[in-house]
């Protein structure tokens, strides 16, 4: 069977998608997927990228639905790629098309920054799979972030958020960090009043907030800003790459023979799937039908500054949170979806190209050291195998994600 996948993946997919996906014969599977929340239904068209946006009104045209308040809001329908389970959504922030639309406006609104020049999208650009192309993100005042901006593709499924923070689990809470954080300053806002004042004069927000929160007299609050941004982020779903058409839909011509060999190498001898498994190629994955959340972190041997495994100051990974020296250099396994467009790589952008990534892993971690995860094992890498690996990485680029107007700047 060419499309070998780790057992965990198959079990996880089977749990949400029944035996079709698990057997690898998943054509048309999107419409048959069951969901854990009663009565809801996966979008069945399978052709639209991301959640069904058919019910979107034009921004600013929401007066009708907001003034009435009697019609129940249309039930949210995920339109998920084949093999994708239903994301977990906090019960107090149910999805709605209106909320997602509000969130998209906020995500792209440069008024949410100290000098009106910066938004979430400054560091999370759609064309780069919601990264920024820099080794270190730079905030609105020029301060450098110690780490690299992460892709937001499939962030709805993240086991934990950020490079190494097991306590950061909800997108709602996370959104406050870049807005108000001071170490470093990202968008540089002061507080709720500051934020709300900056968007007070924008008439489009009247309808956007009213539609998203039809039962509330004063819907413009910081809590709702965070909820709406989170709802929008949950729609940044990437699973319609050429690789998926081959793997889940059985289209043999979707990817090259070289890419198929690359997938095989990724499994063995790469053993990359120990940590980059599942539909999102990350072991830090959580979704609605999983019984519990896990938040794994690993040291891949990028640094060994002192022979005891030390990482550079400020980027000690999980150890910064736990204080446990054994957690030095441990980070979350990021998604590998769209990896060909998200260079440079790793938490500090210190690996320039995917070929360099392969060299790093083939060496068993470029710096080695006593703390490297035992699953990062040296392996031989021939030049034609590098080409196969790279073809596999390319096959994970989801053009629909990079160009979907529903995820683009609405302003």
Instruction: Tell me the closest approach of the beta carbon of residue 125 to ligand HEC, in angstroms.
Output: 11
Instruction: Please list, residue by residue across 343-368, b when 16 or more beta carbons sit within 10 angstroms of its beta carbon and e when fewer do.
Output: bbbbbbbbbeebebbbebbbebbbbb
**What part of residues 290-309 is at the interface with ligand HEC (CB under 6 A)?**
298, 300, 302
Interface region with ligand HEC, contact rule CB under 6 A, candidates 63-71, 194-202, 235-243, 341-349: 341-349
Q: Which is nearer to ligand HEC, 104 or 298 (CB)?
A: 298
Instruction: Give the rounded distance of the alpha carbon of 152 from its chain centre.
Output: 3
Instruction: Tell me the closest approach of the beta carbon of residue 2 to ligand HEC, in angstroms.
Output: 19
Q: Which of 89, 345, 394, 407 contacts ligand HEC by CB under 6 A?
A: 345
Residue 85 half-sphere exposure, CB side, CA atoms within 13 Å?
28
Site string for ligand HEC, 85-124 (x = CB under 6 A): ---------------------------------x-x-xxx
Q: Which of 79, 110, 187, 338 contacts ligand HEC by CB under 6 A?
A: 187
The rounded distance, in Å, linking the Cα atoms of 280 and 295 is: 15
Interface region with ligand HEC, contact rule CB under 6 A, candidates 32-40, 54-62, 171-179, 208-216: 171-179
Alpha helices in 46-169 (DSSP H): 63-68, 97-107, 120-123
Q: Which of 43, 178, 239, 262 contacts ligand HEC by CB under 6 A?
A: 178
Instruction: Tell me the closest approach of the beta carbon of residue 112 to ligand HEC, in angstroms.
Output: 7
Q: Which two tokens stand for residue 200?
A: 């007070």
Q: Which two tokens stand for residue 289?
A: 């039908």
The rounded distance, in Å, linking the Cα atoms of 140 and 163 is: 21
Instruction: Please list, residue by residue across 42-72, b when 16 or more beta carbons sit within 10 angstroms of its beta carbon and e when fewer do.
Output: bbeebeebbbbbeeebebeebeebbeeeeee
- Residue 112 contacts residue 189 (beta carbons within 8 Å): yes
Instruction: Tell me the closest approach of the beta carbon of residue 369 to ligand HEC, in angstroms.
Output: 13
Q: Which is nearer to ligand HEC, 100 or 120 (CB)?
A: 120
The rounded distance, in Å, linking the Cα atoms of 47 and 49 is: 6
The rounded distance, in Å, linking the Cα atoms of 155 and 161 is: 8
Site string for ligand HEC, 217-256 (x = CB under 6 A): ------------x---x-----------------------
What backbone phi and psi angles, to 5 degrees, belong to 244? -65, -35
Asked if 366 is part of the footprint of ligand HEC (rule: CB under 6 A), the reply reads no
Site string for ligand HEC, 264-283 (x = CB under 6 A): ------xxx-xxx-------
- Residue 329 contacts residue 54 (beta carbons within 8 Å): no
Residues, the chain, total?
A: 411
Q: Which is nearer to ligand HEC, 65 or 295 (CB)?
A: 295
Alpha helices in 124-214 (DSSP H): 171-180, 192-199, 204-212
CB atoms within 10 A of CB 74: 13
Instruction: Tell me the closest approach of the beta carbon of residue 207 to ligand HEC, in angstroms.
Output: 22
- Total number of residues that touch ligand HEC (CB under 6 A): 51
Q: Which is nearer to ligand HEC, 48 or 363 (CB)?
A: 363
Asked if 161 is part of the footprint of ligand HEC (rule: CB under 6 A), the reply reads yes
Instruction: Tell me the closest approach of the beta carbon of residue 156 to ligand HEC, in angstroms.
Output: 10
Instruction: Tell me the closest approach of the beta carbon of residue 149 to ligand HEC, in angstroms.
Output: 4
Does residue 156 sit in helix, strand or coil?
helix
Per-state percent for the chain, helix, strand, coil, to nearest 5: 35, 5, 60
Asked if 147 is part of the footprint of ligand HEC (rule: CB under 6 A), the reply reads yes
Residues that bind ligand HEC (CB under 6 A): 118, 120, 122-124, 137-139, 145, 147-150, 152, 155, 158, 161-163, 171, 174-175, 178-179, 186-187, 229, 233, 270-272, 274-276, 298, 300, 302, 331, 333-334, 336, 339, 342, 345-347, 357, 361, 373, 375-376
């Amino acid at each position: 069977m060419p499309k070998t996948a780790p057992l965990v993946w198959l079990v996880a997919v089977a749990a949400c998608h029944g035996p079709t996906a698990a057997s690898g014969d998943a054509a048309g599977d999107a419409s048959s997927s069951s969901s854990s929340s009663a009565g809801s239904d996966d979008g069945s068209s399978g052709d639209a990228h991301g959640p069904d946006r058919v019910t979107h009104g034009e921004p600013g045209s929401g007066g009708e639905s907001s003034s009435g308040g009697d019609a129940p809001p249309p039930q949210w329908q995920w339109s998920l790629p084949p093999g994708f389970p239903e994301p977990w959504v906090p019960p107090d922030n149910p999805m709605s098309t209106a909320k997602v639309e509000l969130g998209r406006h906020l995500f792209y609104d440069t008024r949410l920054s100290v000098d009106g020049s910066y938004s979430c999208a400054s560091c999370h650009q759609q064309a780069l799979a919601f990264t920024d192309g820099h080794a270190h993100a730079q905030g609105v005042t020029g301060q450098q972030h110690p780490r690299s901006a992460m892709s937001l593709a499939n962030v709805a499924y993240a086991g934990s958020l950020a490079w190494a923070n097991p306590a950061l689990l909800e997108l709602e809470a996370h959104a406050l960090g870049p807005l108000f954080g001071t170490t470093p300053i990202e968008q540089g806002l002061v507080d709720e009043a500051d934020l709300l004042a900056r968007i007070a004069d924008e008439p489009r927000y009247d309808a956007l907030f009213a539609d998203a929160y039809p039962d509330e007299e004063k819907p413009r609050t910081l809590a709702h800003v965070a909820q709406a941004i989170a709802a929008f982020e949950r729609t940044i779903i990437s699973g319609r790459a050429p690789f998926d058409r081959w793997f889940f839909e059985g289209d043999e011509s979707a990817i090259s023979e070289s890419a198929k060999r690359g997938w095989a190498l990724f499994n063995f001898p790469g053993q990359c799937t120990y940590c980059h498994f599942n539909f999102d190629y990350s072991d830090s994955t959580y979704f609605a039908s999983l019984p519990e959340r896990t938040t794994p972190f690993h040291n891949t041997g990028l640094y060994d500054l002192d022979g005891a495994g030390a990482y550079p100051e400020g980027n000690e990974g999980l150890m910064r949170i736990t204080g446990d020296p054994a957690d030095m250099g441990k980070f979350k396994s990021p998604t590998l979806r769209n990896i060909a467009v998200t260079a440079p790589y790793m938490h500090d952008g210190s690996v320039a190209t995917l070929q360099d990534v392969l060299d790093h892993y083939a060496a068993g971690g470029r710096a080695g050291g006593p703390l490297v995860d035992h699953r990062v094992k040296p392996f031989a890498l021939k030049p034609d195998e590098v080409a196969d690996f790279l073809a596999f990485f390319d096959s994970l680029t989801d053009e629909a994600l990079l160009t979907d107007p529903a995820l683009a700047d609405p302003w």
